[in-house]
Structure 1
Amino acid sequence: MKRVVLITGHYWHSKRKAGFHWLGDAFWRQGWEVVFLTAPLSWLSVLRRDYRLAYPVLEEANRLQPIKPNMWSYVWFTPWHPANLRLGMLNHLSRSWFRSYGQLPLPEVESLLKDADLFIFESTPALLLFDRCKQINPRAQYIYRVSDDLRLLNNHSIVLEKEAEVLPKFNLVSVPSQHMYRMFAGLPNIKLHLHGIRKDLFAQDYYNPYPPSEHPHVVFVGNTRFDYDFIDRASQLLPDWQFHIIGPMSNLISRKNIIAYQELPFEATIPYLKYADIALQNLAYSPGSECFTDSLKIIQYTYCQLPIVAPDYLKSSRENMFYYQPGNPDSIRQALIAAQGCDRSQISTENIYDWDELVSEWLGSSFAPVKVTTK
């Protein structure tokens, strides 16, 4: 049985299901043994009240946890990890300290890494573990799945430097958006692979969670970068419309047509997508946010043939997108009304991957041969 190690910032049992959860599941269904390695996580995460601490990550730290036959979860908890300390002097002084992160002990899991066939790194500070994995296992194939732009996440400079250093050493660099594809233009090992979805889950029958209404049900699902100003304006402009917000949004204005659900398990959100009339991608801007033109949520919304309302900095070739200028009430209203008039039957879902199809494409492709000299 072949073994894949997914090195990701996500925790397997989190309510937040990201691409790496579905990749791990797809590899397992295709007969691979899966090690889902969560990193980075350290005492710095505790100081910052990392959301993952709501789960038993400290109890499971540095111990292999069986998920099901041939699938393991491993939380790599260390004394520190490379993190932006917010002050230039502290970031400078911490460089040599953080540079040694990849050489910290890997109790219980190192023997599994030694015999793995494939490593898939997510775009996190755990990229500093790349050289260590190469030393342990130089024969394996290595994929870099760039889930996020590290610059957008305000990482410590040493993480950005490590990404630039190891990019050419991967057999494959897989990016999920046109924006990232342009960002890494010129790399011989880069491929554009949009996010997949679990089509089997979306194909199931679900009850309609919305009450009957003559007016649209508008849904947002997410956990970061929520534009509160947009929802304040939109809910006032269209008081008969119902705005359903799913995610840990703590500062939502109280208004009768804003319905907050907090964070739900992924499968519980599917009915809200399938039976919605309009979807929102109302994300607040920060440099690098353009990469969200092809986010996993955009793919899921599109698969449900939903018109999507988004800020104009997310303009793309998608025909089901309707754009507004942030802070401009007229353009917000126009975008929502235009989305309401969209012919949903014309929204194409043909080019959307199932996660199994994406994994099959990876495994069926010829990886670039990379020779890395290690000291």
Structure 2
Amino acid sequence: MNRDMQGITHGTESFLVLSAHDYRSPRKANIHFIAGELARRGTTRFFSLRYSHLSRYTADPRLPIDTCANRIEQHQGVECFLWKTPLHPFNTRHALLRPVESLMFGWYVRTASPVLLRWIAEANVILFESGTAPVFFELARRMNPMAKTVYVASDDLDTINSADYVKRTFRRIAPSIDIIRLPSRALTRTIPSSGNLYFIPHGIDPGLASQGDPSPYGPGIHAVSVGSMLFDAEFFACASRRFPHISFHVIGSGRPRCADYGGNVTVHDEMPHADTVRFIKHAHFGIAAYRTTQLPDYLADTSMKLIQYDFLGVPAVCPREVVGDYRSRFGYRPGDGESIFAAIKAALAAPRGPSRAHPSWSDVADRILQPTRYSDTRIRP
């Protein structure tokens, strides 16, 4: 097979996605939407890594589907496999333990599931999401040298605290990967390669605009926060006191209700994506309350909730570092009550409407498979 995929014919390909997510999980990341689009183009398999008995101590979002582990299941047109091992390799966070870390990762690759080995051998295109997946690149290239390889850089490896072994492996293999997809140009400086980098932003489901009805809210002013990444509870303690007439809805933060929250803060468990859309679409403004101690600048382009807020025309309040060039976002300094007050006031006064056009996930998948066909994917040195 020509790895440039210039003669691609939908329905004849076999795609394999390696990720620490699982396609069946209710929480959706960009890799879920990409996999869903690949399923429209051919056989698609989603192999979920880095899951073991240790995962119960890390609040792993895949715990609700633990009973599905180690068996192939079909879910919404995608073959899924959650590989559960007695233990999985992890970042030892200590230089003296790096040899142990290397032994763990080496063992993990050598004892790869027979399902993974078969799926690698049968794939035309193999996608490795940032995280643990790249440690299987060399195995995949040996087993199936004709398969097209794609690195989906959802995050910088330092930002997500990847193990030193993973970072060293990625530095070694990066120039050999056929396509490295970057959802933000800011990630370019984190990649030890150049000629195979392509800028392909996150997409959006264009059907969201017609979904999300009716409103889940009662009378009054409502604000919504979605997700748990770098969640800053202090923001809501401050904002709820400064704006007692606003109802704040915190969805899927992964944290119990904070004692400092005002009575106008409602904490919701994680909910299906379709239900979350209702809360976003009918909110007066959205909130991305990130802690800034670990805030990467590329998050301005990659935050899925901020993208959804903008697409649905909902003004957003977020730290200044992730405002970017979106006119629909209003920045504040975490811990600064006056700047939080000013950002919320500005969001309440802002007009509704998207600040830019957003690609569909179909557009994203097309560019990932054949980036050289699109002039807007080029990253110049």
What residue identity is the alignment partner of 2:274?
E
Counterpart of 2:200 (choices 173, 193, 196) is 193
Contact 1:152–1:289 (8 Å) recurs in 2: yes
| 1:266–1:344 Cα change, 3 Å | same
Counterpart of 1:212 (choices 211, 219, 222) is 219
The Cα of 1:43 is off from its aligned counterpart by: 3.5
Contact 2:128–2:134 (8 Å) recurs in 1: yes
The more displaced of 175-184 and 136-145 is 175-184
Output the aligned Cα RMSD: 2.0
Question: How far apart are the structure 1 equivalents of 2:81 and 2:272?
Answer: 21
Name stretches of at least 5 consecutive residues in structure 1 with no aligned partner.
368-375
Q: Which residue of 2 aligns with 1:319?
A: 327
| 1:332–1:54 Cα change, 3 Å | same
Counterpart of 1:328 (choices 336, 346, 350) is 336
What residue identity is the alignment partner of 2:315?
P
Normalised to the residue count of structure 2, the TM-score between the two structures is 0.88
For residues 63-100 of structure 1, the C-alpha deviation after alignment (integer angstroms, 9 at most, x for no partner) is: 3222255x200112234433123444334433233234
Counterpart of 2:179 (choices 161, 166, 172) is 172
Q: Which residue of 1 aligns with 2:60?
A: 50
Does 2:28 align with 1:5?
no
| 1:1-375 paired onto structure 2 within 5 Å | 1-29=12-40, 31-56=41-66, 59-68=67-76, 71-184=78-191, 187-204=194-211, 206-213=213-220, 216-247=221-252, 248-253=254-259, 254-294=261-301, 295-345=303-353, 347-350=354-357, 352-366=358-372
Normalised to the residue count of structure 1, the TM-score between the two structures is 0.89
Q: Which residue of 2 aligns with 1:371?
A: none
Alignment coverage as a number of residue pairs: 359
Question: How far apart are the structure 2 equivalents of 1:10 and 1:91?
Answer: 25
Question: How far apart are the structure 2 equivalents of 1:202 and 1:238?
Answer: 29
The Cα of 1:333 is off from its aligned counterpart by: 0.4
Query: Helix, strand or coil for the counterpart of 1:220?
Result: strand
Q: Structure 1 stretches (4+) deviating beyond 4 angstroms?
A: none
Query: Helix, strand or coil for the counterpart of 1:353?
Result: coil
The Cα of 1:174 is off from its aligned counterpart by: 0.7
Question: How far apart are the structure 2 equivalents of 1:207 and 1:280?
Answer: 21
Name stretches of at least 5 consecutive residues in structure 2 with no aligned partner.
1-11, 374-381
| 1:105–1:325 Cα change, 3 Å | closer
Identical residues among aligned pairs (%) = 28
Question: How far apart are the structure 1 equivalents of 2:185 and 2:87?
Answer: 34
Query: Helix, strand or coil for the counterpart of 2:34?
Result: helix
What residue identity is the alignment partner of 2:328?
N
Question: How far apart are the structure 1 equivalents of 2:118 and 2:165?
Answer: 28
For residues 222-263 of structure 1, the C-alpha deviation after alignment (integer angstroms, 9 at most, x for no partner) is: 122111111111111111111111112224334221111111
